[in-house]
């Protein structure tokens, strides 16, 4: 058992714990959410009353997880904890109660009686009595992937009393973790939080089901880039095998292709060696294109009838040098070519 020495006290408390909270950190990634949901499903299957809470809204890419619909954004409302009775309309602006001398209580049968001793001549008549629970009735709080309590965001900041005095189990893989729990299950050597959760669930004496295993496989594959990352070890493959044995499903090929396309897009565009390419398609040599300088052609003004361009006969191939089938062009310039042309038409403006 990999984490047995770290969970000795937890194993003694867990059988009696009937109301359990699982808290995810703000900005939880696929690995953390999959691990938290798998723990939720496992404890729920064991007959525990479990709530799971996250400060974030669920994203579209996370909606495929089993149990994701149980994640609450607001802190779960539970019965239990410290009870406060609010009596409206009896306190003064300086937070004193002028009509009240003292308060007593006594038990009678199965009832608890509160006795408000009112000063002579005063009236003590609350407009309304409101019961309110402070703190929580959770026996255990599991934090999954949080380096400290502040990492839980508003789940902790707005409900600090609920965490005060409650037994906290801190599960994490990050070296920066502050070991804030009463029990700290920490491992920085594993490939992912989901790999760690597979071993932890087994060490606690629970059995994975197909839904939990599918969540855990998704987390492992995402954290290890489909097992191609150097973090994946032999233990990672063993964890994957354990999930597959109980009916867990690997992430769909569409998710794997999406990850692959992102990796390809991040790479630089390739540079081609055309000689290598031509050799691959059977062409031995790549024809080299020679640069032929262009001759300067004088500007001709059509209206200058005195200008007659001369042609260097060396530039004109002889009939014998011309390719066969090519017509012979007259070397004499026709007079009409130099005559200005006048175009008429209704479309010319």
pLDDT in tens, 253-268: 655 444 344 333 433 3
Model pLDDT for residues 256-301, shown as the tens digit of each residue: 444 344 333 433 334 444 454 445 445 445 445 455 555 555 554 4
- State whether 73 and 97 are in the same domain: no
pLDDT at 335 (0 to 100): 62
- Domain-embedded: residue 25: yes
pLDDT, tens digit (0-9, with 9 covering 90-100), for 146-183? 999 999 999 999 888 888 888 999 999 999 999 999 99
Q: Which of 202, 221, 251 is the last residue of a domain?
A: 251
Residue that finishes a domain, picked among 230, 251, 272: 251
CA 339 to chain centre: 77
Q: Is the pLDDT of residue 347 over 80?
A: no
- 121-148 mean pLDDT: 84
Residues 44 and 176 in one domain: yes
Does 42 share its domain with 141?
yes
Same domain (yes/no): 94, 63: no
Q: Which residues contact 11 (CB under 8 A, 6 or more apart)?
A: 204, 205
Domain co-membership, 31 together with 161: yes
Reported for 228-236, long-range contacts at CB under 8 A and 24+ positions apart, including other chains, are 229/191, 231/190, 231/191, 231/192, 232/191, 233/191, 235/190, 235/191, 235/195, 236/190, 236/191, 236/192, 236/195
Domain match, 63 and 106 both: no
Q: What is the pLDDT of residues 4-52, one digit of tens each?
A: 999 999 999 999 998 899 999 999 999 999 999 999 999 999 999 999 9
Whether residue 58 is contained in a domain is answered as yes
Give the residue from 68, 348, 10 showing the smallest Cα distance to 206. Answer: 10
pLDDT for res 159 = 87
- Residue 128 domain flag: yes
Q: Which domain holds residue 114?
A: 82-134
Domain of residue 170, CATH code: 3.90.1640.10
pTM score: 0.60
User: What tens digit of pLDDT does each residue of 201-244 get?
Assistant: 999 999 999 999 999 999 999 999 999 989 999 999 999 999 99
Is residue 92 domain-shared with residue 236, that is, in the same domain?
A: no
Q: Identify the domain boundary among 251, 279, 297.
A: 251
CA 48 to chain centre: 29
Rounded average pLDDT over 97-114: 90
């Amino acid at each position: 058992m990999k984490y047995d020495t770290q969970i000795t006290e937890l194993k003694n408390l867990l059988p009696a714990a009937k109301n359990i909270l699982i808290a995810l950190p703000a900005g939880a990634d696929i690995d953390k959410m999959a691990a938290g949901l798998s723990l939720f499903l496992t404890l729920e299957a064991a007959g525990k009353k479990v709530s799971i809470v996250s400060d974030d809204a669920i994203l579209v890419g996370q909606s495929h997880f089993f149990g994701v619909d149980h994640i609450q954004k607001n802190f779960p409302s539970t019965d239990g904890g410290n009870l406060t009775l609010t009596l409206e309309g009896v306190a003064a602006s300086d937070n004193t109660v002028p009509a009240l001398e003292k308060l007593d209580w006594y038990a009678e049968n199965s009832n608890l009686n509160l006795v408000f001793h009112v000063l002579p001549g005063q009236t003590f008549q609350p407009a309304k009595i409101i019961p309110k629970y402070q703190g929580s009735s959770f026996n255990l709080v599991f934090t999954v992937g949080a380096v400290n309590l502040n990492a839980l965001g508003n789940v902790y900041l707005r409900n600090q009393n609920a965490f005060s005095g409650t037994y906290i189990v801190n599960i994490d893989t990050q070296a920066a973790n502050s070991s804030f729990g009463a029990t700290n299950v920490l491992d920085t050597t594993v490939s992912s939080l989901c790999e760690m959760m597979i071993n932890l669930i087994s060490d606690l004496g629970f059995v994975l089901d197909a839904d939990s295993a599918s969540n855990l496989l998704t987390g492992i594959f995402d954290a290890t880039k489909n097992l191609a990352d150097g973090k994946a070890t032999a233990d990672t493959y063993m964890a994957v095998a354990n999930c597959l044995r109980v009916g867990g499903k690997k992430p769909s090929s569409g998710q794997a292709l999406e990850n692959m396309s992102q990796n390809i897009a991040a790479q630089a565009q390739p540079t081609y060696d055309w000689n290598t390419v031509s050799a691959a398609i059977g062409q031995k040599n790549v024809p080299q294109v020679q640069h032929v300088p262009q001759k300067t052609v004088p500007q001709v003004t059509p209206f200058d009838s005195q200008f007659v361009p001369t042609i260097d006969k060396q530039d004109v191939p002889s009939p014998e040098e011309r390719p066969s089938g090519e017509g012979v062009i007259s070397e004499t310039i026709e007079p009409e070519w130099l005559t200005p042309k006048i175009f008429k038409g209704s479309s010319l403006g």
